[in-house]
Chains A and B, each alone.
Chain A
Amino acid sequence: MNDYLWDGSGEPDGDIEQLESLLRPLAYQAPAEPYAVSAVVAAAPVKRAPMYQWAIAAVVAFAALGLGFWMIRSQPPETVTVAALDQRQVSDLAWTERVIEPTVPAVPIESNHPVKAPRQTAAASGRSIRGSQRVLEERQEGRVAADQLLKALRITSDNLNIVKTKVNQVGASTPES
């Protein structure tokens, strides 16, 4: 093989020299100033994630939403007992007759009328107690359902944040080559 073609040594080849002379103007021209990578990076356009990545993110978001609701629905409902009701919940039942201790009204001592114990209300009966308990249970179930819904929304929001972070990472790390 012609050494001149390999490493430029030996007897020059006329054709090769002619081609070199002809093609050299097309060669890379080093810039006058040193290459500044910071300037290139700063001038590079910000690449947005391709459409398919947004589609993947949407699918993952919907899957996360469905998973969140499935997790909530798979949880056993909380058992509500009357004993678990606190005073606050009991006091909320403004229209419900409550079992109260019969009280003796304050009557002046000098009154001549004998003091009679007030007649007990219907709430004192067993039937009213059971009704009020049922109402309290329903109220508690409603609160539990509301809490579960909030929990599901919180889980979904967390999942969406994770998806968003991953999409940004994918978009940022997507190579040019």
Chain B
Amino acid sequence: MSEIDLAGNGILFPGQATAKVATASVTEISPEARLVVRVRNGDQDAFGELYGRYAAMVHGILLARVPRAEVDDLAQDVFLSAYKNLGSLRNSNAIGPWLAMITRNRAMEFYRREKKTEELVDDVPVRASSLTEATEVLTIIRSLPDAYKETLVLRLVEGMTGPEIAERTGLKPDSVRVNLHRGMKMLREKLGIGVRS
């Protein structure tokens, strides 16, 4: 899989509208790229497979940014937009980073339309105490810097490993590792649990 370098060495990416792909190191077409080609040829089932591969990533990126109640609808918007604009994707191998960029932009657009600047609080029923606690922890994760909260949500909520996060989002593995480490450290401090070096 080619290295994908977002502006800021992969640590800061909110607002970045472009993703550069080091095409020199690409010598083969990834399975995801083959799916992209099939979709462009009119194979809708192939897009269903792409959805299955990237739904968790899209869901996690949105969950790190917008209220839970909006995540599913926005995820649909993201995939609908991707389906309609797949022709504009120049490098089929970059389908993951491209989807990640669309997702982040969609999250920003959500707040622009809602015209809310403060963090929206999830409305969770009191009866589900564990879910309430989970939502509280999620709220704390959302208060972290964008790069940290996104990788932490993908790791701790969606269950993706560091290498998987790097592969799907196009971030460098080292960047993901740094984000996870620093993000976890900040999270521990905010939660008041054991801080490890």
Contact = CB atoms under 8 A, between A and B. Distances in A.
B28 to A, nearest CB: 24
Given A23-B134, A25-B130, A40 B81 contact: no
A34 B51 CA distance: 9
A15 B48 CA distance: 36
A27 B137 contact: no
Contact of A175 (B79, B81, B157, B196): B81
B56 interface: yes
A176 B84 contact: yes
Given A37-B48, A37-B51, A40-B76, A26 B157 contact: yes
A30 B52 contact: yes
Given A6-B177, A176-B81, A177-B105, A22 B137 contact: yes
Contacts of A15: 188, 193-194
A44 B68 contact: no
Contacts of A38: 44
A37 B44 contact: yes
A20 B156 contact: yes
Nearest to B46: A37
Contacts, number: 107
A176 B193 contact: no
A177 B103 CA distance: 7
Nearest to B77: A176
Interface string A14-47: 0110011011111110100011111011001000
B106 A177 contact: yes
B160 to A, nearest CB: 10
Interface string B55-78: 110011001000010000000111
B184 A23 contact: no
A7 B81 CA distance: 31
B161 A7 contact: yes
A175 B138 contact: no
6 contacts: A19-B137, A23-B157, A27-B56, A27-B59, A176-B77, A177-B109
Interface of A: 1-2, 5-8, 13, 15-16, 19-20, 22-28, 30, 34-38, 40-41, 44, 175-177
